[in-house]
Structure formats: structure tokens, C-alpha cells
Structure 1
Amino acid sequence: MPDQSPLLSLSKLSLRFKGQPVCAVEDVSLSVAAGEILCVVGESGCGKSVTAMALMGLLPPGAAEIHGGVMTFDGQAFDLTKDRVPSDLRGGRIAMIFQEPMTSLNPVFRVGEQIAESVQRHSGCSRGDARLRSLEMLRCVGLPSPERLLDQYPHQFSGGQRQRVMIAMALANDPRLLIADEPTTALDVTIQAQILNLIRDLQRDTGMGTIMITHDLGVVADVADTVAVMYGGHIVESGPMTEIFENPQHPYTIGLMASVPRLSGPRQRLTTINGTVPSIRQMPSGCRFRTRCAFAAETCSTRPAQAEVGPDHSVACHFAPLEQMLKVAG
């Protein structure tokens, strides 16, 4: 059972890209405990990866300006508007698996050298010890013949193998928190299941907290303890995974759930959410989902506050809880 005290908490993160009229991420708050997997879910363009990059301190200072946000990690607080996340935290106590391993791994260095560099940077150990740790990690993530693979280049690996190398690199320094940004993108379903099982097993064995960014609700149902649903740079709903799946309260969450293909029952047309995520230059005021929402009304032109609709279950919708609204309408 995960420890309930937050390992990492993020409070009211807001950031704007240079030249853009509104914040790409606004008032985003998240928390994850040691031993817990938090899944951040939403369509592409909702601000999931940008939030992760801000947590890691990887946003280019000239391109993005953070207007608000406090991150507390392992009892240490950082005001993200003025404190740069220390470089020794990145890759050490906080590690990240990036979305595309082929562009994240350096093509001109052997994978063993790349893992060893991270180990030496954070532990100060010798080159020989770092190589031994690299070998240990390749073995840990289930790669066959790790002694041979250690001296190979990224292009000699398959997509699933490269992702395992990224996991080995991320976990080489025994991080307290792992951020996995779409770790199964472009992998076939068999390899996807293997990667998810690997992350879950390693997470259980080490007790680290995990933030997993995804748009795949199948992944969420498989691994998540808690879920944060993101749309247009806002958290629109958050809570325990079972509560979100069994009792979704935001129209966007309901739309996401309804759009999942069913493997059983009669054949029927897939449900879709009308429209697309607006660009940052065309983001509506108030509730950013209102231009696509079947329940939209005049009151939605003002931004809804987060409201508690159950234990640890909150939603940002003027009409929540929806059961009450539907009862009145009926």
C-alpha cells in the first residue's frame, strides 16, 4: 500500500510561452506519494509533457516563463518562479523516461557509456564501477546478453530494447521519483505490456513514486493508483483510479471513457468528442472545454473552481456532481 504522505507536491503551476496570449498550463496542482503511480491523462496538446518538463527544470528560460508554482520534493520546497531545479536532482533523485528513446539516446555513444555517464555524474564513482552499474541495470530491465549490448549503439536496438535502455538509465541512480512521458508510444501491444509490467515491478521493488503521462486509458486502468485528467492546461478532474473510472464527473472525462473501444458486446460506432483541443491562441475563456461540451451554458464563460465530489475526488465543472444536474433536468 503506497505511503499516503506526498513525496512530491506541485501547487498552482502556471506558465506561458513567449508571445502567447494565455498560459499553456494554469494553476496545475498534483501530488504523488512514495510507492504510488499517478497517471496524468489527456489528449495531445493538453499540457501534460510541459508540466513534466517544468517539474524537471528543463524548459528553456527564454521560451517559457513560469508565473506561479511551488514544488515540494522530499520535504524540500522550490519556488519555480525564481528557483531553478538543481541539476543534481535531475537524473538522481528525480529521473525521467522521455517519449521517444531514439531521439533521447545519443546515437554516437555506446549505451553503456551513456548509462555510466549518468552514474558517475551523480555518485562520483570510478569509471569501472559505473560500467559495472550499467551492466547491472541492463540485466535488471531484462535485456538478453547485457555484456554484449553494453558496447552497442542505439541504432542496433529495437524500439522496445531502446525503451528498456532508457528505463535502465533512469533507474541507475535509485531515484525517489520517476516521471515516464508516454513510455509505450509507438510500441506494439506485446512490447507495451512488457514495458508497463517492467515499470510496475521495478516501482514496487524500489518503492519510488511514479508520474506516468499518457493518453491511453488502457494504460491508466492497468497501472494507476490515482489519476489526474488534464485539458487545455487545466486539471479538470482528479482522484483514485477506481473512482474516476466508475464515477467520472467531468464531461471531458466522460467523453474519454466513452471513446474507448469495447472488445465485447454488439458492434457499434465509436463515440467521439466533437472538435479538437484549441490552439493556445484560440483558447476559450472560462472553462476551456466549453466549446466541445454537450452541457455548456452561459455560466461556463467563467472558470469553474475545483469541487470535492467524493473522497479525494475533485472536479472543475459548474454542474458537478452531474447526477444532481441530470436529476434536476429530468
Structure 2
Amino acid sequence: MDHVSLAAKSGEVLCVVGESGCGKSVTAMALMGLLPPDSSLISSGNLRIGGETFDLTRDVVPRAMRGNRIAMIFQEPMTSLNPAFRVGDQICEAIIQQGGATRAQARARAETMLRRVGIANPAQRLLEYPHQLSGGMRQRVMIAMALANDPQVLIADEPTTALDVTIQAQILDLIRDLRDDIGMSTIMITHDLGVVAEIGDRIAVMYGGQVVEQGPVREVFDNPQHPYTIGLMSAMPGLERPGARLAIVPGTVPTIANMPEGCRFRTRCVFATAACARRPALSEIAAQHQVACHFVPLEENIEVAR
């Protein structure tokens, strides 16, 4: 990550998008204080929640706030839940560790949370193991666990991956309803721009560990200005031309050891010129709409640049 700055207001959903390897999940893990210390280093960075600032370079601070200030739903519930322990024990552990509740209080809270996320017969489900639940139910358990201590910020890392479209819609509706009820800030990491359109208030497009475009979802969708954002949106399937070949963004995301100088997207950008050897600043082109490209607005400057 390189000078990444994200903000989500209370009750707002910020969607972070980009290809695999762009830094979305690493950013989330850094916010949670979960990056392995032997293979990562945060040289500077802060997390501000409700007017209180936490230093991300000190692991002890994120550990203390994990669960009750900021919580995370991970990509794969089957690998995130421990297969050797019952669902109820895992939720209770999260409540006891952060909330200081007794075992009986934690169990009552766990049952309430399962009911809240739409799981029928929650008392019975608490006694079951993860493999006894469907994929959608496991994801609901993960949401219940993340929200058990009423966090102010929820990070959802690809929460609908590997779920069928019906369950996906149910999970998105659930997250939206809980956001409205609790008023928490939500950071949604996803590859799916359809999910962004469905649930997002604001969007941040990441590439090469940097934010290259961000702003209100409708503004960015109606007027994408970074060539990478345009490429992602062009690659979406549509109903206008059934069977038509999808557009592609040529090349692949460079590794951290092989990042180009200046604009990190320039090796894949059809508009790149010698000017792109300089790093573009993230500048505001409209209300809350920021883009890191030397040639914005593209419709006015790209012909001149070429």
C-alpha cells in the first residue's frame, strides 16, 4: 500500500474495487492489525474511529479494538470458522474476549445475533459445527460474529464469494439492513461492480496498492475518468449485446517488486505517454470525485496528450 486514504461516514458503505493483487485485502488486514509481522511493515498510518485515532504501526492498539470498534467478515467462511468447534462456542469466544461477558451472557447474546441475521432455530444452530451449515448460513454466522460486539466499522472482504445469486442477494440485503439499524460504517471489498451498484454509497478503485479514483458511486459510474476504472467497467457483461465478446484490460497487475515508476498503470494504459513516468496526484475533478491521472478530464485532454 502506498499513501492509501479511505473514509466512510457513519451509516455509509464504501466499496473498494480492483483486480486481485491490487491491495484491497492487504489494506483491510492492515486496518485490522492482522498483517504478519515477519513479512510486512507499516511505516506510517492511522485509523480514526469516532474522533479517536489509533497508530497502525503499533500492533497492540489494533488488537485492543478488534471486534468492539472494528470488525471484519472474511472471504471464505468455511476456512475462517474453526471446523473443530461448534458455532456457538466460536461466537461466544468473540463476545467474551472483547465484551467481558459471562458464558451464559455470551450464549444468550450469540443466540440473539443468529436470530438477528435471519438464522432460524438459533438455539439449535449454536450446537452445530460449520460443516453442518450451508454456505449462506456460514456467511450469516460470520456476520453475526463480526457484529456481536456492535462495532462502529465493519469490513466485509468479498462476503458473497462462491454464493449463488439468491443467497448473494440475501446477504447484501442483510448487510444493508444491519447498517441501517446500527448506523455503522461499512467497507465492502469486492470485484463485482454489480454489488457496488446495489449497495455502495461511495467507491474507491485501487491499482498497484494505490487509490486511483474515488467518489460517489453514481458520479464515478456515470463519469469514470481513470483509464483503469474505464477498463473495469468496460469488462462488465451487459444485456445490450448478448453473446458479444467482453472488453479486457491488457496485461496483469505488476508485483510489488516490479512496480513501474510514476503512474503504476502506465504499462497497461492505452493512453500512456512519457508524462506518465511522473506519479500523478490524486486530484479532485468534481464534488468528492478524485482521480490520479495526468490527463483528466480525459474527454478534453487525451487528444492533446496523444
TM-score category (smaller protein): over 0.9
1:226 to 180, 190, 202: 202
Counterpart-to-counterpart distance in 2, 1:176 and 1:237: 25
Q: Tell me how large the CA RMSD over aligned residues is.
A: 1.4
Q: Percent identity of the aligned residues?
A: 64
Q: Cα deviations across residues 108-162 of structure 1 (Å, max 9, x unaligned)? A: 1100111111111222121111111111111111112212111000111111111
Contact 2:271 2:302 in 1 (8 A): no
Q: 2:240, 2:269 → 1: CA distance?
A: 28
Letter in 2 for 1:110: R
Q: Which amino acid aligns with 1:119?
A: I
Aligned counterparts of 2:24 and 2:142: Cα–Cα separation in 1: 20
Report Cα offsets for 1:27-49 as digits up to 9, x if no partner.
10111111000000000000000
Asked if the contact 1:96/1:179 (under 8 Å) is kept, the reply is: yes
Pick from 42, 49, 53 the counterpart of residue 66 of structure 1.
Answer: 42
In the alignment, what sits opposite 1:313?
A: 289
Secondary structure at the counterpart of residue 151 of structure 2: coil
What is the aligned length?
A: 306
Q: In the alignment, which residue of structure 1 is the partner of 2:262?
A: 286
Q: Output the CA distance in 2 between the equivalents of 1:26 and 1:329.
A: 27
Would you say 1:322 and 2:284 are equivalent positions? no
Give the residue type in structure 2 aligned to 1:305. A
Instruction: Give, in angstroms, the shift of residue 323 of structure 1.
Output: 1.7
Tell me the secondary structure at the aligned position of residue 33 of structure 1: coil
Amino acid of the structure 1 residue aligned with 2:8: V
Matched, 1:99 2:88: no
How do 1:161-200 residues align onto structure 2 when only pairs under 5 Å count?
A: 161-200=137-176
Give the structure-2-normalised TM-score.
0.97
Q: Give distance in 2, aligned partners of 1:57 and 1:140.
A: 28
Q: Structure 1's 180 and 266: CA in aligned 2 closer, same or farther, altered over 3 A?
A: closer
Q: Match for residue 206 of structure 1? A: 182
Alignment correspondent of 2:215:
239
Please say if residues 56 and 85 of structure 1, whose CA atoms lie closer than 8 Å, have aligned partners that are also in contact. no
Name the aligned partner's letter for residue 9 of structure 2: A
1:177-229 CA distances to partner (integer Å, 9 max, x unpaired)? 10000101111111111111110111111100000001110000000000000
Cα distance in structure 1, aligned partners of 2:51 and 2:240: 47
Give deviations 1:1-57, integer Å, cap 9, x for gaps. xxxxxxxxxxxxxxxxxxxxxxxx101011111100000000000000000111011
Post-superposition shift, 1:67?
A: 1.8
- Residues 59-112 of structure 1: per-residue CA shift (max 9 Å, x gap): 111210112222222211223234643423101121100111111111111001
Mapped to 2, the partners of 1:88 and 1:235 lie a distance apart of 28
Structure 2: how far apart are the matches of 1:37 and 1:290?
Answer: 30
The DSSP-based 3-state class of the residue aligned with 1:85 is helix
- 2:54–2:62 Cα contact (<8 Å) kept: no
Q: 1:255 and 2:234 equivalent?
A: no
Counterpart residue number, 1:89: 65
The amino acid that maps onto 2:191 is H
Distance in 2 separating the partners of 1:70 and 1:302: 27
Cα separation, 1, equivalents of 2:17 and 2:300? 26
Mapped partners of 1:302, 1:326: distance in 2: 17
> What amino acid maps onto 2:124 in structure 1?
R
Q: Which runs of 5+ in 2 are unaligned?
A: none
Moved more, 115-124 or 45-54: 115-124
Check 1:266–1:183 CA distance in 2 against 1; reply closer, same or farther (3 A cut): closer
SS of alignment partner, residue 291 of structure 1:
coil
SS at 1:290 equivalent:
coil
Matches within 5 A, 1:126-141: 126-141=102-117
The answer to whether the Cα contact below 8 Å between 2:295 and 2:305 also exists between their aligned partners in 1 is no
Cα distance in 1 for residues equivalent to 2:305 and 2:3: 32
Answering whether residue 32 of structure 2 is matched by residue 56 of structure 1, we say yes
Amino acid at match of 1:100: E
TM-score by length of 1: 0.90
Which residue does 1:5 correspond to in 2?
none
